[in-house]
Structure 1
Amino acid sequence: MASINLIFFLFFLVLTTSASPNPILPKSGFISAVKDPSSLQYVAKLSLGDGTAVNLVVDLNSPHVLIHGGGGVPVGSSSLECAMAESVRTNPNSKACSVRTRNPISNIPMSGELHEGKVAFEMWDGVSLTNNNSNNGLAKIDPFLFVKSQMTSNGAKGVLGLGQSRISLMSQIFVAFGFLKMRFSLCLSSISQGGIFLGGSPNFVSKFSSKIKHTPFDYSEDFGGYYVRVNSIKIFDKKMDLQLGDDEPFIAARFSTIAPYTVGPFGTCFVKGGEDGFPAVDLVLQSEMVVWRMDGRDLLVPVGDDVVCLGVVNGGFSRRGFITVGGFQLEDRVLEFDLGNSILGFSDSIGGKTCNDFGFGFDLSEKFSESFVV
């Protein structure tokens, strides 16, 4: 009887120790983004998966990842990948896959060849990041499709586009990592370093989730990318007369990480202290309960030691029916783009903190022991 019990115990021990627990999957991919003080653009560092990295300008609306150099191999014009990229034939004798795109800085159309390489980025488990000092434990996508371009800007060598296409960054991440959601989140810092969460949201959102508002969004190249519908604008809780016609039932508010402000040049300025009591501007979206509020911090831009200027401009009689919400107005908020449901989640603030306060881009102690390679 004792021998039978011993055999049963050994069998139970082997069974319990050999059974692997369910793996804890990451909540999202992560790429840090730093504000460049000279250009006021946001620059992300993307690992190319071979120990090298490239700085790319973050463009919320570009449907492609553009890389100057970047290695990789050309994609043939008759390939499935080229068909997915909706290529154009600029030279009938060329076997290269040419993709029509746009320089977001100059807004000039251009084309570049589609290449196939690999990229790597950190993963976020809801608490910490993988080690950003090496490629161990980084998520890798191989092959990864990008457009090879000659574009450079203030040391950045290309564009990290977060727009929509069949070969967009998010489309490729969703195909490669099916456990991630078809969404991405931004937390851009007004001071230094913020982050882009690919496939999920930062964990601190749950601390003030009741303050997150939601509204439908659309994506259209005609409107410059992502936009929401503004039904009315209020100042001092008074509705402005938007003079909308039957053919224009709403104003589109589009978002841009390229345009620092909705101005150029500044027209109305104050000596610091003279802006006290400056009214908030409310963009009323799908209902009176869903409002994007821009207070004095969002509207007044410091241009010197003692001067601030209004960061919006009168569109005049040439108004084209949309408002640009620039990077200055996007900073230190959480924006979550749910691509599967076309819903934007946004916060008015993040509890009095800046996105830099959360330590994005730094080694936060816990590491993943396994690389997620596709």
Structure 2
Amino acid sequence: MAKNPCLLSLFSLVFLATVSLAQRPFFPRAIVIPVSKDFPTSQYVAQLQMGYNLAPLKLVVDVGGPFLWADWASSSQGSTIPCGSLKCSMANPKGCSSGVSNEICDLQFENPVSKLAGSGVLKEDTLAVELIDEPNAGSFLSHVPNFLFSFVPSFLFQGLGNGVNGVLGLGNSRISLPSQLANTFGIPRKFAVCLSSSNGAIISGDTTYDVSRSMMYTPLISPQNGTTQEYYINVKSIKINDRKIPLNTSLLFLDQEVEGGTRISTVVPYTTMKTTIYQPFVDSYLEIAASMGLSRVDPVAPFEACFKVVGSDVVPRVEFVLQSEMVKWRMNAMVKVGDGVMCLGFLDGGLGQGASVVIGGYQLEDNLLEFNLGTSMLGFTSLMGGTGCSSFTRSSRDRDSA
């Protein structure tokens, strides 16, 4: 299959040669999609191409979104899926409201940023992706024929970044991107996300990482009623400098009404906590920070707790304890907001927040997260110790030439 020069140029710019050969991951057979951060909105934007003319798409990454949706103006025309078809039932298991088989298949969805609800038409078209097939074929442009997506009017795009064409859903549904890639290429039904303030990537398929020995694993959980395609994990307690914060741990459990639990989000900029968890958390953090000699300064919106941090000052460490004391996820806790000023990067989500904790994009940065939908497990490891996401987003073409 012929290589597309525009796409190759894009990947040459995005994938930086920053680490030695020994540090590079190995992709036996995987899809790599570049992701960059839109700083005005703190959204993570993936770049894809769709249609016979390979029209470029810039899509906000929504790790819990059920499918790809894009606007009327910038999306390809594609083919409309009828209501009574098998493909429509895959995308919309509840069926069409009209029950008339020859009507257009429509999908209900929610803008993950504005929370505006709407509907779009189910269509299919060709999606262009970079397939890495080592050690024989290397890296080449490939196509996903009959890729299912939703065609929506542009007025539903409130809150999305400038120039964005839609949302890329990676949730646990039958027509999310990872599911459709697995069906097309026969790759494992799993994907990795590596976010960064610069270059990141979505890697779908069969992957081997040099950091695999340092990865820890925790179950992905969901309510038994199957009402959501989003990803939740069990957090049993929260520790600051190894001190467990005092809170009602029953608040952390996910119930069957999709209340409580800890949800992972690439759309929420910073981790939010329900007020009943946030208040004891921030109180404990302030107490421990004071005991370490950190000086508190005026808050900088949207953060509540800010400090003067000078030189080698050490800040309190925040860890989420998962299924046991041996499985802990260290969070990116502090955000630099000015010269010598850092703020605690956790926000009060209010009493009405559905999930007890929503782990936001900033806390996910410089972490490699592997979502294995076949085993319902999440693998995670920090890349803050000298290895960044750019080393995990390079195509085989870059590795061969290094």
Q: TM-score range by the shorter chain?
A: 0.7 to 0.9
Query: Displacement of 1:227 after TM fit?
Result: 1.1
Distance 1:344 1:88 in 2: 33
TM-score normalized with structure 1 length: 0.79
Q: Which amino acid aligns with 2:346?
A: V
After superposition, the C-alpha distances for 1:197-247 in whole angstroms (9 at most, x for unaligned) are 11133x4x2x22221001101246867811100111111212222213499
| Cα separation, partners in 2 of 1:241 and 1:88, compared to 1, 3 Å | farther
Q: What are the within-5 Å matches in structure 2 for residues 69-218 of structure 1?
A: 69-86=75-92, 87-89=95-97, 95-125=103-133, 137-151=140-154, 152=157, 153=160, 154-178=162-186, 180-190=187-197, 192-201=198-207, 203=208, 205=209, 207-218=210-221
Percent identical: 39
Q: Is the 8 A contact 1:49 1:140 kept in 2?
A: no
Return the match for 1:354 from 382, 385, 388: 388
Mean Cα displacement is larger for which, 309-318 or 111-120? 309-318
Q: Is the 8 A contact 1:130 1:138 kept in 2?
A: no
Return the match for 2:271 from 258, 262, 284: 262
Find the counterpart in structure 2 of residue 299 from structure 1: 333
Helix, strand or coil at the partner of 2:271: coil
Q: Which amino acid aligns with 1:67?
A: A
Q: Is the 8 A contact 2:237 2:320 kept in 1?
A: yes
Distance 2:188 2:179 in 1: 11
After superposition, the C-alpha distances for 1:143-166 in whole angstroms (9 at most, x for unaligned) are 111000134422110011100222
Distance 1:90 1:143 in 2: 25
Q: Is the 8 A contact 2:84 2:99 kept in 1?
A: no
Q: Which amino acid aligns with 1:290?
A: V
Distance 1:159 1:82 in 2: 20
Mean Cα displacement is larger for which, 107-116 or 25-34? 25-34
Helix, strand or coil at the partner of 2:131: strand
Q: Is the 8 A contact 1:270 1:308 kept in 2?
A: yes
Distance 1:72 1:144 in 2: 9
| Cα separation, partners in 2 of 1:354 and 1:258, compared to 1, 3 Å | same
Distance 2:345 2:58 in 1: 28
TM-score normalized with structure 2 length: 0.74
Query: Displacement of 1:284 after TM fit?
Result: 0.7
Q: Does 1:62 align with 2:51?
A: no
Q: Is the 8 A contact 1:333 1:347 kept in 2?
A: yes
Distance 1:288 1:260 in 2: 28
Return the match for 1:285 from 292, 302, 322: 322
Structure 2 unmatched runs, 5+:
1-26, 273-300
Q: Is the 8 A contact 1:285 1:291 kept in 2?
A: yes
Distance 1:114 1:224 in 2: 18
Distance 2:32 2:50 in 1: 14
Find the counterpart in structure 2 of residue 323 from structure 1: 357
Mean Cα displacement is larger for which, 320-329 or 120-129? 120-129
Q: Is the 8 A contact 2:70 2:167 kept in 1?
A: yes
Q: RMSD over aligned Cα, in angstroms?
A: 3.1
Larger radius of gyration: 1
| Cα separation, partners in 2 of 1:142 and 1:280, compared to 1, 3 Å | same
Distance 1:364 1:94 in 2: 48
Query: Displacement of 1:319 after TM fit?
Result: 6.6
Distance 1:261 1:247 in 2: 18
Q: Is the 8 A contact 2:252 2:356 kept in 1?
A: no
Find the counterpart in structure 2 of residue 253 from structure 1: 262
Find the counterpart in structure 2 of residue 48 from structure 1: 50
Helix, strand or coil at the partner of 1:347: strand
Query: Displacement of 1:52 after TM fit?
Result: 2.2
Q: Is the 8 A contact 2:236 2:249 kept in 1?
A: no
Distance 1:104 1:231 in 2: 27
Mean Cα displacement is larger for which, 248-257 or 300-309? 248-257
- State how many pairs are aligned: 330
Q: Which amino acid aligns with 1:121?
A: V
| Cα separation, partners in 2 of 1:310 and 1:33, compared to 1, 3 Å | same
| Cα separation, partners in 2 of 1:248 and 1:45, compared to 1, 3 Å | closer
Q: Is the 8 A contact 1:208 1:351 kept in 2?
A: no
Q: Is the 8 A contact 2:235 2:252 kept in 1?
A: no
Distance 1:81 1:305 in 2: 54
Query: Displacement of 1:305 after TM fit?
Result: 3.8
Distance 1:357 1:247 in 2: 34
